[in-house]
Amino acid sequence: MTITIETQTDQPLLELKDLRTHFHTFAGVVKAVNGVSFKIGAGEIMGLVGESGGGKSVVGFSILGLIESPGKIEGGEILFDGEDLAKASDERLREIRGRDISMVFQDPMTSLNPLHTVGDQMDEVLRLHSNLDADARKQACIKMLESVGISQAEERLKAYPHQFSGGMRQRVVIAIAMLAQPRLIIADEPTTALDVTIQSQILKLMRQQIADNGASMILVTHDLAVVSEMADHITVLYCGQVVEQGKTRDIIESPSHPYTRGLIDSIPDPTDRMARLNQIPGNVPDIRNLPKGCNFRARCPRAQDLCAEQEPTLKPQHNSLVSACHFPLQPGEK
Amino acid sequence: MSNTPMLEVRDLKMRFPIGGGLLDRMRLDKKGFRIENPVVQAINGVSFKIEPGEVMALVGESGCGKSTVAKTIARIYSPTGGDILIDGENISDYGFSEMLPVRAKMQMIFQDPFASLNPRQKVRDIVAEPLLEQTKDAKSQKDIPAEIEALLAKVGLNSEHAGRYPHQFSGGQRQRIGIARALSVRPGLIIADEPVSALDVSIQAQILNLMMDLRDEFGLAYLFISHDLSVVHHIADRVGVMYLGFMVENAPRDQLFSKPKHPYTRALLSAAPSIKPTRDKEEIELTGEVPSALNLPSGCCFRTRCPFAWDRCAKERPVLKDVGDGQSVACHLTDEPEREVA
């Protein structure tokens, strides 16, 4: 890799421009990601939220070049520090993966190799991405395990994944992800499989690791509560497209897109207990066969004739928000 | 009769022997040769009541025994000890055929809407199955198709759906089918084991609303198992908090959320992420993880993670004590509150 040049402060660490990742299946083309753009600055946490099938995980996989056939990045740019990863060779991507960008997966039970010790799996990262000797690598691994809160780290390096509990395994996965001091971490539902007391431990740990290393993070999750406690910015996806973006507080307090409003209102709010939850009617439409116009219109309480004819584009709204809606909500409007 | 609780559980215990065959259980070490009989102590004496029309929630983390309680009450498991009374009738040692009439009073909704429906049966047959089991005379069996249609309409599906197979539905719709099946015999109690945790949040709200509507319409009582405190806060009248097979706190909802007494309840509430970060949230952070149910700690089960634990907690197991206003807590702190100055 070339010498790191001081990046200008206004250049984002990662910029997605109109990313399109499609899957060519026998049943038709699944446009899982269909024109997604966003930016993340150094040290920022971006929350990527949406329901199942929104395309949020595919965005994460696309950035790392982990899309396999029948999936394909059909267009758009993934600018990481100015370099377009969508056009990068496999070799170059392998260099970047684990060193500059690393990933934390949802399921700590399956993302570690059961046949290798934790120490081997940690060592692999440093063997590939550093020129430290064996002893220094081991010391680095021990230090990393300790910093994620695993005691007797030296002993535990010899243990296999099945000898750890779920929470401990997720700590190991985070330790592996942080080991090469990456500049960007993509965390795909990192705490969804964990219990709530363990979740709060892991979230705290991730926040601290990111602050200590000055890294950025994309936090992919369906849980708005987790995002609202962790992220600086939120991007809401629906049917593979961005429907709303903005600063976390602005989105949570007063979203402009009816889908975001619906997601927030679906969460039972302990401070304001109503007899009924405000539900979003219906289901996510079939992504192979999206309706004309706005994808959300069949479930939207504000839909009008225009929504069936013309697809809304992203437009600036109040505060820091940008959203794709013909009839956006005004501040304070329900 | 009107004073009989819909469900009463007294000192319920459930143990699962594990360890396989004789060879697997043989041990030879410093202590000599022996044959071990490892037992998972899944439920260690749980008692509670549910009145008709009441929603009782059991919360706790994985492995706390909340699902085992549900399955034992539904008599999917036979309890190791204790009594289960459905509408005043003790069913704890009923056999299969004795359970049949009881099942008309008590039905279950499962967590996974994909695994809990037979993929080879049409929706119509899935929903009709409990009814067919319960109505043996041919005359009333004739009314079943009309009944099914009415049930499907109640849960927000239409008659066109009756001829389809489960794989043709989304997760939320499948959960509706599961609810229709449970409702078909007009039970007084529905045991719902994490009914919304596999669903997206917008669909989750639909199902919760449906369950509350049905409660109002049929006067249903629910035993609602969940790990999600915000859902529990929304739906429950009364909440029981479980830890390692013990009930550590049992209180009316508002009491539990505003004045939690047990350190574990307080830690759970403080750990739950919320969309509106609350200003005065108590910070109790738990270290470590839940001990194994194969080898319970002496005394209080929670002492290994409790920030307030002292020597008494290791010696003496706290029992659930009434602290007033319908709230009961199993913690020595209720006797010695001055210990809490941390």
Query: Left, alpha or beta for B216 (phi > 0: left; psi -120 to 50: alpha)?
Result: alpha
- Closest approach of B342 to chain A, Cα-based (Å): 20
d(CA A164, CA A176): 15
- Locate the chain B residue with the closest alpha carbon to A199: B271
Residue ranges of domains in chain B, CATH in brackets: 7-105+187-252 (3.40.50.300)
Residue A34 φ then ψ, to 5°: -135, 75
pLDDT value for B1 = 47
d(CA B63, CA B65): 5
| Cα atoms found within 13 Å of the Cα of residue A255, Cβ hemisphere only | 24
Instruction: Indicate the residue of A51, A195, A279 with minimum beta-carbon distance to B209.
Output: A279
Q: Tell me the pLDDT tens digit for each residue of B252-310.
A: 999 999 899 999 999 999 888 887 766 566 778 787 778 888 888 999 999 999 999 99
Following DSSP, what letter does each residue of B85-122 receive, concatenated?
Answer: EETTEE-TT--HHHHHHHTTTEEEE-S-TTTSS-TTS-
Going by pLDDT thresholds of 50, 70 and 90, the confidence category of residue A3 is very low
Percentage of residues in chain A having pLDDT higher than 70: 95
- Locate the chain A residue with the closest alpha carbon to B272: A196
pLDDT value for A5 = 45
Report chain B residues whose CB lies below 8 A from the CB of A271: 276, 278
Q: Tell me the pLDDT tens digit for each residue of B177-189.
A: 999 999 999 999 9
Going by pLDDT thresholds of 50, 70 and 90, the confidence category of residue B200 is confident
Percentage of residues in chain B having pLDDT higher than 90: 60
- pTM check: above 0.95: no
Q: Does the beta-carbon distance from A268 to B271 stay under 8 Å? A: no
Q: Tell me the pLDDT tens digit for each residue of B202-258.
A: 888 889 999 999 999 999 999 999 988 889 999 999 999 999 999 999 999 999 998
Interchain contact A263–B (C-beta under 8 A): yes
What are the boundaries of each domain within chain A? 14-113+184-323
Most confident of A196-200, A212-216, B22-26, B288-292: A212-216
Tell me, what DSSP letter sits at residue B334?
A: G
Going by pLDDT thresholds of 50, 70 and 90, the confidence category of residue A41 is very high
pLDDT value for B2 = 57
If DSSP codes are grouped into helix, strand and coil, which group holds residue B288?
A: coil
Query: Which of A265-279, B91-105, B159-173 shows the lowest mean pLDDT across its residues?
Result: A265-279
Q: Is it true that domain A14-113+184-323 has CATH number 3.40.50.300?
A: yes
**Six token digits for residue B149:** 């249609």
Say what the ipTM of the complex is.
0.78
pLDDT for A173 beyond 80: yes
Select the residue from B230, B258, B264, B275 to test the A interface by mutation, using most A Cβ atoms within 10 A: B275
Average pLDDT, chain A: 89
**Six token digits for residue B33:** 């040769």
pLDDT value for B277 = 64
d(CA B102, CA B109): 16
Within 10 angstroms of residue A234's Cβ, the number of other Cβ atoms is 26
If DSSP codes are grouped into helix, strand and coil, which group holds residue B82?
A: strand
pLDDT value for A276 = 77
Number of H helices, E strands in chain B: 12, 14
d(CA A255, CA A248): 10
pLDDT value for A9 = 53
Going by pLDDT thresholds of 50, 70 and 90, the confidence category of residue A281 is confident
pLDDT value for B76 = 92
- Locate the chain A residue with the closest alpha carbon to B284: A197
> Strand locations in A81-206, DSSP E?
83-84, 101-104, 184-188
Interchain contact A232–B (C-beta under 8 A): no
- Locate the chain A residue with the closest alpha carbon to B254: A270
d(CA B289, CA A138): 26
If DSSP codes are grouped into helix, strand and coil, which group holds residue B47?
A: strand
Dihedral, A204, B282, A47, B60 alpha carbons, nearest 10: 80
pLDDT value for A201 = 84
Exposed (0-12), middle (13-18) or buried (19+): which is A90, by Cβ within 10 Å?
exposed
Strand order in the sheet with B39-50: B39-50, B7-17, B81-86, B89-90
Strand order in the sheet with A315-316: A101-104, A184-188, A216-221, A45-49, A233-238, A241-247, A322-323, A315-316
pLDDT value for A199 = 86
Going by pLDDT thresholds of 50, 70 and 90, the confidence category of residue A8 is very low
Query: Which of A150-154, A297-301, B261-265, B277-281 shows the lowest mean pLDDT across its residues?
Result: B277-281
Contacts of B95 (CB under 8 A, 6+ apart): none
**Six token digits for residue B173:** 């719709």
d(CA B61, CA A7): 45
Interchain contact A269–B (C-beta under 8 A): yes
SS3 content of chain A, % helix, strand, coil (to 5): 35, 20, 45
pLDDT value for B279 = 54
pLDDT for A156 beyond 50: yes
pLDDT for A51 beyond 90: no
Residue B153 φ then ψ, to 5°: -65, -40
pLDDT value for A7 = 45
pLDDT value for A2 = 41
Strand partners, A101: A97, A184
Q: Which of B176, B169, B5, B181 is nearest to B87 (CA)?
A: B5
- Closest approach of A11 to chain B, Cα-based (Å): 31
Mean pLDDT on B84-112: 93
pLDDT value for B341 = 62
Mean pLDDT on B160-166: 91
Select the residue from B62, B167, B201, B304 to test the A interface by mutation, using most A Cβ atoms within 10 A: B201
Q: Tell me the pLDDT tens digit for each residue of A68-106.
A: 889 999 999 999 999 999 999 999 999 999 899 999 988
**Six token digits for residue A151:** 């005691």
pLDDT value for A275 = 65
Residue B237 belongs to what H/E stretch? none
If DSSP codes are grouped into helix, strand and coil, which group holds residue A217?
A: strand
pLDDT for A4 beyond 50: no
| Cα atoms found within 13 Å of the Cα of residue B96, Cβ hemisphere only | 1
Average pLDDT, chain B: 89
Percentage of residues in chain B having pLDDT higher than 70: 97
Query: Which of A94-108, B20-34, B41-55 shows the lowest mean pLDDT across its residues?
Result: B20-34
